[in-house]
Structure 1
Amino acid sequence: MDETTVQLLCPECGKNWQTSPGELPASAEMFHCPNCHASRRTAEFMRTDRDLQTLKQLG
């Protein structure tokens, strides 16, 4: 069984990665880039609108 993942992109350092939506805070909560430690709302790290919708549904 494939696990659902969302793609993230740091708006400050450009780091790309993917993770399970269950491992992320809610879209309006603060999230910190594991690379540069930038702090923004989790929604701002979502690479696409589809990733944001997946986070809201499954996160």
Structure 2
Amino acid sequence: MDETTVRLLCPECAKDWQVSPSELPESTGMFHCPNCHASRRTGEFMRTDRDLQTLKQLG
């Protein structure tokens, strides 16, 4: 069985990557880009609305 991932996109440096929702803070918690260290709510890093919904359901 494949592990579910969400796609992230940094709004500042445009780095994109995938990670398991369990490795992220909740959607309203603070998250820091591993590339440029921008700090925003985790939900702002979600690439699509579907990724955000997956985070809210599984995170």
Structure 2-normalised TM-score? 0.99
Is 1:29 matched up with 2:29?
yes
The residue number in structure 2 matching 1:44 is: 44
Unaligned runs of 5+ in 2: none
Runs of 4+ off more than 3 Å: none
RMSD, aligned α-carbons = 0.2
Unaligned runs of 5+ in 1: none
1: distance between equivalents of 2:5 and 2:43? Answer: 14
Alignment identity in percent?
85
1: distance between equivalents of 2:9 and 2:3? Answer: 19
